[in-house]
Amino acid sequence: MPAQQKQQYTFEEVEKHNKEGDLWIVIDSKVYDLSRFADLHPGGPNVLYAEGVAGKDATDTFFGLHRHEVLLRPQYARLQIGTIQGEEEMIKAPIPGSLSKVPYAEATWLSDGYFSPYYTDNHRAFQQAIRKFFEEVVRPEAIKCEENGKRISQEVVDKMSDLNIIAMRLGPGKHLHGRTLLGGLVKPEEFDYFHELILNTEISRFGTRGFSDGMLSGATIGLPPVWNYGSPELQAKVVPEVLSGKKYLALAITEAFAGSDVSGLQTTAVRDGDYWIVTGTKKWITNGTFADYFTTGCKTEKGLTVILIERGEGVSTKPIKTSYSATAGTAYVTFDKVRVPIGNTLGAVGNGLSVILSNFNHERWMVTAMSVGAQRIIVEECLKWANQRIVFGKPLTSQAVIRNKLGKMITRIEACQNWLEIITHQMNNVRERICTAHRYLRPSRFFILNGDLLNIEYLIYCNTPSQQMTYNEMSSKLAGQIGLLKQFVSRCGRETAEDATQVFGGRALTVTGMGKLVENYHRTSGFDAILAGAEDVLGDLGVRQAMKRMPKDARL
């Protein structure tokens, strides 16, 4: 029944119902009849009969112990029998797609009254639509799968592919051409790395880290080598199957024998006429338990080669138990003399290292973007909790030590976001193009509009859809920066996870209840420091890349 049609009561009336078998309480102007629920209450019945709770307004006590979402669950919402006369609810249910008003809960560009040079109106519309879709369709699935460890349902995959979300997760490029993106909201040729950045940060807002990877991240990192290096026939078959969500694909590089040191891989592919015979094992393969295809790094006579292997005879997968949910489908994969057509070779034989390395940068950037999205939610959780939690009669925020932790969290998330955005801006623009535009600005083309000196060529340039970097360009220009960025973001993430755990105390140690997002983040933020390249290795890569670019004549 809508609130306005519910019975209205006064506090005096509610107060009469204050004992076992006849128990009413008020939470945020709503009257709940807990007479029969008391014995079923997960916190036990006695706490509900306490003085100051039974027959009283227990709003502050309630929000000190429960998340708002408890009241929205249908089985509890129906305990409401009315409202208090003349009072209005203060704590509103979030509207799907809406932005948080909590300071720093949103990136600056999404905060009221602030601006950014990077985002257009189209990015804003895209962010709003994608958040709404995720909150309405994907979040309930994420929570369910994170708990039961099952893979994302075909029904939700189909809904995502109807909007071409699987294709958009792979970033800008020719695979988007001819597709209707998000019901036509963004034109394929205008989809850029900032759209993709938005997609990645929004995906990680549910506090369900295992599910974020289970949401077909395998295809995001494993399909690009197929369209960048596969034969036209292979692309024509595999790309549509995967982007429509009808088949699943995983990237199978790491082994128990080799992780960041991919050159040490031991899975072998031996030529036998028109086939490769592949033998070996792969470990930590995201989405591997349910993948139909594996983009696989193999050792061949001529060096490392990447081969697309279809699940079939000789391919077996078993789940690996990790510290995050089995919904990610993390697998141990065994190839036992698997016959694979030579046509499934991705790139030249022996050129596997550059196929793998050129792919890594986009993957690392994606992991970083998801990490930033997840980190920001934790900052919001901590700000809300520290504000609402009362200790020694005062909010937690009255403690300087807590404010200090909040300050560090905010600093870290803002630093991560800003570095991520400037790198994304580089990915969106090929350098030569900018130089060309500026070099040819001719004085004769300047004019004055509304008091501003403008140049016609510059305006044309600025309003032309930007030209994104290819994976190879990313590899040569940004590998070091992305490596350092990823190292920085994952370190910040783990420091924030530690601080958040201190702010939430014991609540951060339970999988359900007030601190559940902090618990998940504390348990899983370490994944960001490992997936797509270990943190320390990436930091070192960044410095080695910088050393390569040192001018020969650089002296103090």
Q: Is residue 14 involved in binding ligand HEM (CB under 6 A)? A: no
Instruction: Compute CA distances 343 → 109, 229, 292, 339, 340, whole Å.
Output: 46, 11, 17, 12, 8
Q: What is the DSSP string of 383-447?
A: HHHHHH-EETTEEGGGSHHHHHHHHHHHHHHHHHHHHHHHHHHHHHS-HHHHHHHHHT--GGGEE
Token code pair at residue 339: 């016959």
Residues between 503 and 532 that touch ligand HEM (CB under 6 A)? 512-513
Q: Is residue 385 involved in binding ligand HEM (CB under 6 A)? A: no
Q: Is residue 277 involved in binding ligand HEM (CB under 6 A)? A: no
Nearer to ligand HEM, 79 or 181 (CB): 79
Residues between 410 and 429 that touch ligand HEM (CB under 6 A)? none
Nearer to ligand HEM, 61 or 322 (CB): 61
Work out which of 38, 49, 66, 106 binds ligand HEM, going by CB under 6 A.
Answer: 66
Residue number closest to ligand HEM, CB atom? 43
Closest to 43 in 3D by CA, of 522, 518, 380, 510? 510
Token code pair at residue 71: 């009241």
Q: Is residue 68 involved in binding ligand HEM (CB under 6 A)? A: no
Nearer to ligand HEM, 192 or 519 (CB): 519
Min dist. Cβ of residue 519 to ligand HEM (A):
12
Nearer to ligand HEM, 76 or 461 (CB): 76
C-alpha 512/C-alpha 522 separation (Å) is: 14
Residue 7 DSSP code: E
Instruction: Compute CA distances 3 → 6, 83, 127, 223, whole Å.
Output: 5, 7, 31, 50
Instruction: Compute CA distances 294 → 232, 445, 471, whole Å.
Output: 18, 54, 20
C-alpha 273/C-alpha 330 separation (Å) is: 33
Min dist. Cβ of residue 25 to ligand HEM (A):
5
Q: Is residue 270 involved in binding ligand HEM (CB under 6 A)? A: no
Closest to 224 in 3D by CA, of 242, 208, 210, 209? 242
For residues 278-302, b (16+ Cβ closer than 10 Å) or e, as one string?
bbbbbbbbbbbbbbbbbbbbbbbee
Q: Is residue 160 involved in binding ligand HEM (CB under 6 A)? A: no
Owner of token pair 């007479």: 35
Total residues contacting ligand HEM (rule CB under 6 A)? Answer: 20
Could you give the 3-state DSSP secondary structure of residue 245? coil
Nearer to ligand HEM, 56 or 477 (CB): 56
460-499 footprint of ligand HEM as x/- string (CB under 6 A): ----------------------------------------
Nearer to ligand HEM, 21 or 42 (CB): 42
C-alpha 53/C-alpha 262 separation (Å) is: 61
Q: Is residue 157 involved in binding ligand HEM (CB under 6 A)? A: no
86-115 footprint of ligand HEM as x/- string (CB under 6 A): ------------------------------
Min dist. Cβ of residue 33 to ligand HEM (A):
9
22-61 footprint of ligand HEM as x/- string (CB under 6 A): ---x------x-x------xxx---xx----x----x--x
Min dist. Cβ of residue 61 to ligand HEM (A):
5
Is the CB of residue 304 less than 8 Å from the CB of residue 352?
yes
Residues between 70 and 89 that touch ligand HEM (CB under 6 A)? 70, 76, 79
Across the strands, what pairs with 310?
Answer: 293
Work out which of 6, 35, 38, 65 binds ligand HEM, going by CB under 6 A.
Answer: 65
Min dist. Cβ of residue 70 to ligand HEM (A):
5
Q: Is residue 62 involved in binding ligand HEM (CB under 6 A)? A: yes
Question: Of the listed pieces 63-71, 130-138, 207-215, 313-321, which binds ligand HEM according to CB under 6 A?
Answer: 63-71
Nearer to ligand HEM, 46 or 153 (CB): 46
Min dist. Cβ of residue 522 to ligand HEM (A):
17
Which residues have a Cβ under 8 Å from the Cβ of 392 and sit 6 or more positions away? none
Nearer to ligand HEM, 76 or 275 (CB): 76
Q: How many CB atoms lie within 10 A of CB 8?
A: 13
- Helix axis angle for 516-528 and 471-504, nearest 10°, is 140
Is the CB of residue 211 less than 8 Å from the CB of residue 327?
yes
Min dist. Cβ of residue 207 to ligand HEM (A):
14
Binding site for ligand HEM (CB under 6 A): 25, 32, 34, 41-43, 47-48, 53, 58, 61-62, 65-67, 70, 76, 79, 512-513
